Amino acid sequence: MSTAAIPGIQPGQTALVTGAGGGIGEATVRLLARAGVRVVAVDVKEPVPDLLGAGDIAFLQEDLTDPEAIRRILAAIPGDGALDYVVNAAGVAWFERDGSALDIGEDVWESVMSINFGAMRRLSVATVEPLRRGTGRSMVHVASIAGLRSMDSPLDAYQVSKAAVISLSRALCLDLAADRIRSNTVCPGAVLSPMIEYLYDEDPSRRTRMEDKTPLGRLGTPADMADAIAFLLSARASFITGIDLVVDGGWIAQIR
C-alpha cells in the first residue's frame, strides 16, 4: 500500500466518509487512507473489491435514510469513538425521474430530499459529539454548482436538495463555531463518476457538449474533488468555515 501525506492531516486521525461506493466518496476514502487516516466508509452499495486493501478502512453497507443506520455507523468508529473529519458525499441525481418542479411527483421530491439532504442533516448532527472529542474538527458536505445556479435542463428536486445542503452547512458553521468545528461545502461541476458516466456511454455527444461548456475544456475527476475535500478538512483550512468551494473548471464563472 503506497502512502502519501496530506499537509494539515495527521496519520492516525479518523474520518467518516459517506458515498464511499461511488466516484467522489471512493476517491476521498483512498486519498485519506493513503495519508494514514483511519476511515469509516459508508454506502448503500458494496465497496469496489480492492477498496478495503487500500488502508485502514472499515466499510459499512448502510442506507443513510434509515435513522437506525446512524447508530450503527457511530458504533463502528474505531478507538474511543472520537472523529476528526466527516465527509457527506452520498447523493443521487435521478436524470430520468427528476425534472421541472412543475412536473415531478411527490415521491421524487421526498426521496431526493431525504437522500441528499435529510441523511446529510441527520449524520451531521449525530457526528457533532464525536467531532467535539477529536482534533480535526472539520465537516465537508458535497453539494453541487446546481445548488448555487439553475441548470439549463432542469433537475429541480436535485437542485433544491443541494441548495438545502449549502444552507445547512452555513447554519452549522455558526452553530458549531464555538466548538471550533468547521463546516464547508465542495460544489462540483460535471465530474466523471458513476452518477453521470452512464449518460455519456449512452450518448458520447453529451460528454463533448459538457466539455465544451467547461472553460478548462475537460470534465472534473473524482480525484479533483477529493483534493478539494481534503484541503477543506485539513488544518491548512483552519480559518475557513461556512464557504462553498466551487470546483467546476470555470463553468459558473461565465454567462452563456
List residues near ligand NAD by CB under 6 A: 19, 21-25, 43-45, 63-65, 89-93, 115, 119, 142, 144, 188, 190-191, 193-196
Task: Based on the residue annotation, tell me whether 200 is a catalytic residue of this protein.
Answer: no
The nearer residue to ligand NAD, 43 or 84, going by C-beta atoms, is: 43
* Active-site pick, 85, 158, 198, 200: 158
Contacts with 239 (C-beta within 8 Å, 6 or more apart), sequence order: none
* Residue 254, helix vs strand vs coil: coil
CB 138, min distance to ligand NAD, A: 18
Q: Cβ-count burial of 107 within 10 angstroms (0-12 exposed, 13-18 middle, 19+ buried)?
A: exposed
Of residues 77, 211, 188, the one with CA closest to residue 133: 77
Name the residue nearer to ligand NAD (CB basis): 63 or 179: 63
Q: Which CB, 77 or 196, lies closer to ligand NAD?
A: 196
Closest residue to ligand NAD in the complex (CB): 22
Contact 139, 88 (CB under 8 A): yes
Q: How far is the CB of 19 from ligand NAD (least distance, A)?
A: 4
Rounded to whole angstroms, the Cα distance separating 37 from 54 reads 11
Q: How far is the CB of 14 from ligand NAD (least distance, A)?
A: 19
Catalytic residues: 158
